[in-house]
Amino acid sequence: MDTTERARLIRAGDRRALARAITLVESARPDHRAEALALLDALRQGPQALRIGLSGTPGVGKSTFIEAFGLMLTGQGLKVAVLAVDPSSARSGGSILGDKTRMERLSRDPLAFIRPSPSQSQLGGVARRTREAVALCEAAGFDVVLIETVGVGQSETVVAELSDLFLLLLAPAGGDELQGVKRGIMEMADLILVNKADGELKPAAMRTVADYAGALHLLRRRPQDPQGFPKALPVSALEAEGLAQAWADMQSLIEWRKEQGHWTRARAAQARHWFEAEVREGLLAALSREPQKGLMASLGNRVASADLSPEAAAAEMLRLLGRPPSA
């Protein structure tokens, strides 16, 4: 199938074509990469979805929240794509990719599309090609793209570079738990949602909301936030409570950012960030190919045997690459 036909099918909302295109951009084969770049360029001018990044500690109920939230959005007639990044094994590189089984009702919704992807040990819990998968979902006409990241902590802040809103999902807990959430990830959050605010946990959830609301007031106000943001809210994914209020706050925040020009500036800054990231990744990838790979191994052996210092070896490698070391 040529690029023009593939792009036409994606724009027409063909799910099979979209799934195959995401597989294409995730492939590491050089010929697939060339096809993927051509396809992305063909789809470059198109509609923009609301990109929502979601992070949280393991067991907080991210998948349950996404299913309840996604069903609420599809119930309003919105098309929702979910890109769920699953953790990969550091030893085998394998990944369970079980998000479709955890979101069974949403996966059957005709207005929803769920695509799990392995993180492949990518820093920040976001698969390297997730940004390109987001672009493909936008081209396919989805109104909202939810990006669920590996819930491991502060490295999740990289999701802010590909989303318009960043949600931090937390569980009810005591005051000591506040110290367990790193300041860096809190500073990135637009909304902190305390999940499981139901049943016996509801009083604890409300106390947790109050704790985080107080902590947010101590942070320096960001230029992209109107009065009252970021904020903490209680939600119950199990009982679908608080979701409508959270969605209303998200829409209010995005509308304000668009009016103030923050949306356009943020999208431009993100595009620049990913351009620079691609260049860095390409330079690093060059070291894994011959003859650079052999040179690295040879110099590494000399460093290991104490024949050469790490600094001198690095300088020699950069010289061989035609890039003299910086002062």
- The answer to whether position 295 is within a domain reads no
- The answer to whether position 160 is within a domain reads yes
For residue 220, the model assigns a pLDDT of 80
Domain end: 239, 259, 279, which one? 259
Domain end: 259, 287, 306, which one? 259
| 3-state percent helix, strand, coil for the chain, nearest multiple of 5 | 55, 15, 35
- The answer to whether position 271 is within a domain reads no
- Token readout for 192 is 């902190």
pLDDT at 88 over 60: no
Compute the distance between CA of residue 61 and CA of residue 169 in angstroms, rounded to an integer.
8
Residue showing tokens 């009810």: 172
pLDDT tens for 236-281 read 999 999 999 999 999 999 999 999 999 999 999 998 988 888 888 8
- The answer to whether position 326 is within a domain reads no
Indicate the burial class of 311 (C-beta count within 10 angstroms; 0-12, 13-18, 19 or more).
exposed
56 and 5 inside one domain: no
Q: Which amino acid is at 1?
A: M
For residue 180, the model assigns a pLDDT of 52
- The answer to whether position 121 is within a domain reads yes
181 and 146 inside one domain: yes
For residue 234, the model assigns a pLDDT of 96
Could you tell me the CATH number of the domain that includes residue 246? 3.40.50.300
20 and 154 inside one domain: no
- The answer to whether position 134 is within a domain reads yes
32 and 150 inside one domain: no
pLDDT at 101 over 90: no
Compute the distance between CA of residue 262 and CA of residue 48 in angstroms, rounded to an integer.
15
- Token readout for 240 is 């679908």
Compute the distance between CA of residue 244 and CA of residue 69 in angstroms, rounded to an integer.
9
Q: Residue 151 — very low, low, confident or very high, per pLDDT cuts 50/70/90?
A: low
pLDDT tens for 38-87 read 999 999 887 899 999 998 877 888 889 999 999 999 999 999 999 987 65
For residue 286, the model assigns a pLDDT of 83
54 and 78 inside one domain: yes
- The answer to whether position 189 is within a domain reads yes
74 and 11 inside one domain: no
Compute the distance between CA of residue 20 and CA of residue 80 in angstroms, rounded to an integer.
18
Could you tell me the CATH number of the domain that includes residue 34? 1.20.5.170
- The answer to whether position 37 is within a domain reads yes
Provide mean pLDDT across the span 221-228.
Answer: 90
Contact by Cβ (8 Å): 263, 226: no
Mean pLDDT, the chain, whole residue set: 85
Residue 1 CA to its chain's centroid (Å): 29
pTM, full prediction: 0.85
120 and 246 inside one domain: yes
145 and 104 inside one domain: yes
Compute the distance between CA of residue 292 and CA of residue 257 in angstroms, rounded to an integer.
46
Compute the distance between CA of residue 32 and CA of residue 17 in angstroms, rounded to an integer.
15
128 and 16 inside one domain: no
152 and 237 inside one domain: yes
Compute the distance between CA of residue 124 and CA of residue 128 in angstroms, rounded to an integer.
10
The total domain count for the chain is: 2
Q: In the chain, what percentage of residues exceed pLDDT 70?
A: 84
Q: Which domain holds residue 17?
A: 1-45
Contact by Cβ (8 Å): 141, 79: yes
95 and 191 inside one domain: yes
CB under 8 Å to 69, separation ≥6 — which residues? Answer: 146, 237, 243, 246, 247
CB under 8 Å to 212, separation ≥6 — which residues? Answer: 170, 178, 186, 192, 194, 232
148 and 3 inside one domain: no
In three-state secondary structure terms, 241 is strand
Indicate the burial class of 309 (C-beta count within 10 angstroms; 0-12, 13-18, 19 or more).
exposed
Domain end: 224, 259, 294, which one? 259
